[in-house]
Amino acid sequence: MKTHTPIIKMEGVSKVYDSSDVKTIALQNINLVVKRGDFIAITGRSGSGKSTLMHLIGLLDFPTTGKYFLNGVDTSKFSEDELAGQRNKEVGFVFQSFNLLPRASSVENVVLPAIYAGLEEKERIDRAVQLLTELGLENELNKKPSQMSGGQQQRVAIARALMNNPELILADEPTGNLDTRSGEDVMKTLKGLNREGKTIVLITHEHDIADQAKRILHLEDGEIK
């Protein structure tokens, strides 16, 4: 893919949820271009459409109308299996609640995306150890989530997001469950990844977090304002 092709391009994207007699417009006529290497914060009140937009970008849901191009490819052309494969290959997810398997070690959590991608076991483990070490978790490799702080768990989640070396990282309120110091550490990590060329799209309701991005998009009633 040519480097000048936007990693994300949305044209007139809307998302409508139909529930019996009620029709809810979650997103309305979204036009969005995200260049490679950008760092964007998406802000807005609860119910403004932030999570819906994140789900569409991450191929977890489909637009009702409009076009979404990921790496220049029209995502409406993908089958379900192709969508799952693209999601696993192209996108790394970081969630507010970490979403780690409680009975699995750090390494076991981090290797999961590579299992689905078909990477050999030794390669998976070596890469997981490398990523965790780079994130300062070399002493937590065999620990379970309950044995680590919130900040450490979120760094494990970031390592998992990086496992398949995606170009795009989607972070949904990644500092929301963390104390101030741990939140600062997570933001330093995300900014470091951005300096290395990763594209970051971050959802947050915290202004001091949003201000650290290169660009801020504000959603209001399903529209970019």
In the chain the beta strands, taken as DSSP E runs, fall at 8-19, 22-34, 39-43, 65-70, 73-74, 91-95, 168-172, 199-203, 215-220, 223-224
Q: Enumerate the β-bridge partners of residue 35.
A: none
Residue 213 CB contacts under 8 Å (≥ 6 apart), including other chains: 39, 40, 41, 200, 202
176 within domain boundaries = yes
In this structure, are residues 36 and 7 in contact, taking their beta carbons and an 8 Å threshold? Answer: yes
85 within domain boundaries = yes
**pTM higher than 0.75, yes or no?**
yes
Which range of residues forms the domain containing residue 197? 8-221
3 within domain boundaries = no
With a cut of 60, say whether residue 2 has pLDDT above it: no
pLDDT 10s digits, 184-197 = 999 999 999 999 99
Residue 170 CB contacts under 8 Å (≥ 6 apart), including other chains: 54, 57, 58, 91, 92, 93, 94, 201
2 within domain boundaries = no
- The domain that contains 169 carries what CATH number? 3.40.50.300
Residues 33-47 have a mean pLDDT of 95
102 within domain boundaries = yes
Residue 65 CB contacts under 8 Å (≥ 6 apart), including other chains: 12, 13, 14
157 within domain boundaries = yes
134 within domain boundaries = yes
Q: What is the DSSP string of 58-101?
A: TTSS--SEEEEEETTEEGGG--HHHHHHHHHHHEEEEETT----
197 within domain boundaries = yes
With a cut of 60, say whether residue 45 has pLDDT above it: yes
Tally of domains within the chain:
1
With a cut of 90, say whether residue 117 has pLDDT above it: no
Q: Enumerate the β-bridge partners of residue 14.
A: 65
Q: How confident is the model at residue 30 (pLDDT cuts 50, 70, 90)?
A: very high
